[in-house]
Amino acid sequence: MAPVTQDASPPATHSPRLQFKTYLLLLIMIIFGPLGNVLLGMGMKHLSHGSWSAAQLPALLAEGIGSGTVWLGIASLITFFVANILVLSWADYSFVQPAASLAYLVVAVMGRFILHEAVTPLRWAGVGIICVGVAVIGRTPARTTEGAP
Amino acid sequence: MTMEVILFILVMAAGTAGELCVSRAMKTIGEVHDFRPKAILKVIGRAMTISWMWLGLALMTTAFLSLLGVLAIEEVSMVVPVTAMSYVLGTLGGKFFLKEKVTSQRWAGVLLVCAGAALVILGSK
């Protein structure tokens, strides 16, 4: 393994700078992740007309890879992915993954207003509880593996 | 229907395993300080030399194709919250694979997330 070159700034685990960086990247993740999924859903449902059989699936996936809407979704998910791997270079996975789950609220809102999906009260409640879970997890420190290789 | 369940499981299991591999690769690189596009590309280039990153990308591609299949029939506002069930897998992976400390408070949050995902499924029948 190559030695890691560090910048002049020390690795201040709980500094405001690191927190700002973390929350900025989380914001990018919770916008572009859901947007990507909405675009994928839009593109795939347009192709499938709402159903498929196991035999049709490979052809449908191939068609999906050729769809412009699906590619817009992929571009959005790549933005999400880059933000995700950058934030994972310093923050714990078991902090980042739950914190990024605010995206579930965003995806329900986008599904309701962009795709006109019928989001039932029980589904909203479920999404709300997911967000409460996120708030509980958000109060735990962002890094626990100090000095790990 | 059974095919759909298999795809759902692939989205969660392959997706979580893939993210854990990617996370492990990125921890090898260390904290990213420079956010100029050129520097980010350099970090990505360096990440691509780590085999954990390639295994992670293969698993995430599998999860992605499965997700496309599921999204072709189910609503986005149902599919995406249900994949929150992978939080248990992710937290276990963080604990045992990446040696992160998982506090009881974090476990409580993860359980709430799972309860929410269960309600989303119940709200879709």
For tokens 């700078």, what's the residue?
A17
Q: Which residue has the higher pLDDT, A3 or B8?
A: B8
Judge whether residue B70 has pLDDT over 90.
yes
Q: Do B26 and A6 touch (CB under 8 A)?
A: no
- Name the average pLDDT for chain B: 87
Query: DSSP labels for B11-31?
Result: HHHHHHHHHHHHHHHHHHH--
Q: Determine the average pLDDT of the residues in A16-22.
A: 86
Enumerate the residues of chain A whose CB falls inside 8 A of the CB of residue B121: 126
* pLDDT of amino acid A75: 96
ipTM of the complex: 0.73
Q: Do B112 and A136 touch (CB under 8 A)?
A: yes
Within chain A, strands assigned E span: none
Q: Do A108 and B118 touch (CB under 8 A)?
A: no
* pLDDT of amino acid A8: 45
CA distance B105 to B82: 22
Q: Which amino acid is at A137?
A: I
- Closest approach of chain B CAs to the CA of A64, in angstroms? 8
* pLDDT of amino acid B68: 93
Q: Do B75 and A111 touch (CB under 8 A)?
A: yes
**Interface mutation target, options B68, B74, B87, B95, chain A, most CBs of A under 10 Å:** B68
DSSP state, A4? P
Q: Which residue has the higher pLDDT, A15 or B115?
A: B115
Judge whether residue A5 has pLDDT over 60.
no
CA distance A97 to A92: 9
B88 touches chain A (CB under 8 A): no
* B8-62 residue pLDDT tens: 899 999 998 998 898 888 888 888 787 788 888 888 888 899 999 999 999 999 9
Q: Which residue has the higher pLDDT, A101 or A119?
A: A119
* pLDDT of amino acid A119: 92
CA distance A132 to A77: 25
* B99-124 residue pLDDT tens: 888 888 888 988 998 899 889 888 87
* A22-69 residue pLDDT tens: 999 999 999 999 999 999 999 999 998 878 888 888 999 999 989 999
* pLDDT of amino acid A29: 94
Q: Which amino acid is at A99?
A: A
Q: Do A44 and B108 touch (CB under 8 A)?
A: no
pTM, 2 dp: 0.75
Q: Do B79 and A89 touch (CB under 8 A)?
A: no
B57 touches chain A (CB under 8 A): no
* A58-116 residue pLDDT tens: 999 999 989 999 999 999 999 998 898 889 888 887 678 677 878 888 999 999 999 99
